[in-house]
Copies of this chain bind each other. A is one copy, B any other.
Amino acid sequence: MAKKNAANGAAAATGRVGAKRPSDERTLGRLVDLGTKVSTESVAGSDPFVDIPTRALSNTNWNAKRRILEMGDASQRRNLFNLGQARKFMQTLLIASGCKELIEQGKTLSLRSMYYKSLHTIAGTKEKTFADQEESDPIIEDLEVALGSLREELHVFASERGKVVGNLTIIDNGDEIDLRRMGTGGYAIPSIVEPSVIKFGKCEAKFILHVEKGTVWARFNEDRFWQKHGCILTEGGGQPPRGVRRLLRRMHDELGLPVYCLLDCDPWGHYIYSVIKQGSMNLAFESERMAIPDAKFIGIRASDYERYGLTDDVQIALSDRDTGRAKQIAEYPWFAGKKEWQREIQTLLRNGFKMEVESLITKGISFVTETYVPQKLAQKDWLD
């Protein structure tokens, strides 16, 4: 598996992105340890194995004190000499080998490309190493938890979506980018935003406003909300991808900025908030470095319908699926104990309709930027 010595670091030669990241040595060490363990066991004639922590709801715990989702202690052993496990064992080492090569060369690949990279026909057979990307993606997640290294540290990236502007300078791979001077377009948030790639420069922002969609973000940027209110303005294209969540968390931690979320009044909006705040259930191991337990939900609230005198024009009827989903979310342990959230979801269900952020347009083109959000912030009127 290990063609090159981990220490030879071809990375240094390959330009700026290729420059060694502080986490690389640690991650490489863990990959080499894994390879060494398996080869030692093989040479000794024993049955090589890899232990993979179980990524399942059954092994996900809600840590009420830390207010994040955590992975439990359960793990599964993956043996080479077990007909039911040999394929996954092989795949795990293949992906590990690929990640080692990426780190050594100072390059990154998408999940899709990682599938292609690890794909071949096993010599002397017609067997493919992977049937499709559905088979390689979970192996990469396995490796993340087995090594305790984020996917980003393994040099593998997922989709990128989302934009940011505001009172902050960032240094991305050596380029200084002034987020106060990004025009109407904005800076596209990359998938990998670890400190080795993205550093923070000057910052006069007092908070972060995260909105659900690009179209709403454009309204806030056009009205220069971030300039008037001294903040950073982000959007995540719906459910924010890991890059956006990690950047929010880093700005929250390292710049000490509170995070306010403006999302639709529907179960999907509530779920987005839940993931930003507590982490996602099927990837609980990432909460540690992505969840923001102090994030606040400033709206849209079900009670806004009456409070702001909206008309029935903005009502979008809840489907049966929405209703079921809302009840499910109400039972999440981190919402279950909160009276205000229970009331919020009850009001949503009683209303029988959802509302989008855009519905505030019926009150005026800039009502959301000039009245709604400033009022909510001034009155500290949010859900926790």
Residues of A that sit less than 8 Å from B by CB: 15-17, 101-102, 105, 107-110, 112-113, 116-117, 119-121, 128, 157, 159-160, 163, 170-177, 181-192, 197-198, 214-215, 218-219, 222-224, 311-314, 356, 358-359, 361-362, 365-366
Contact = CB atoms under 8 A, between A and B. Distances in A.
A113 B185 contact: no
A181 B214 CA distance: 23
A191 B163 CA distance: 13
Given A189-B185, A313-B120, A222 B159 contact: no
Contact of A107 (B109, B113, B160, B222): B222
A119 B219 CA distance: 19
A358 B172 contact: no
17 contacts: A15-B224, A17-B184, A105-B365, A108-B218, A108-B222, A113-B215, A113-B361, A116-B314, A117-B361, A157-B215, A157-B218, A160-B185, A172-B182, A175-B181, A177-B181, A182-B187, A190-B218
Nearest to A362: B116
Contacts of A222: 17, 107-108
B174 A183 contact: yes
A365 B102 contact: yes
A341 to B, nearest CB: 27
Contacts of A113: 215, 219, 358, 361, 365
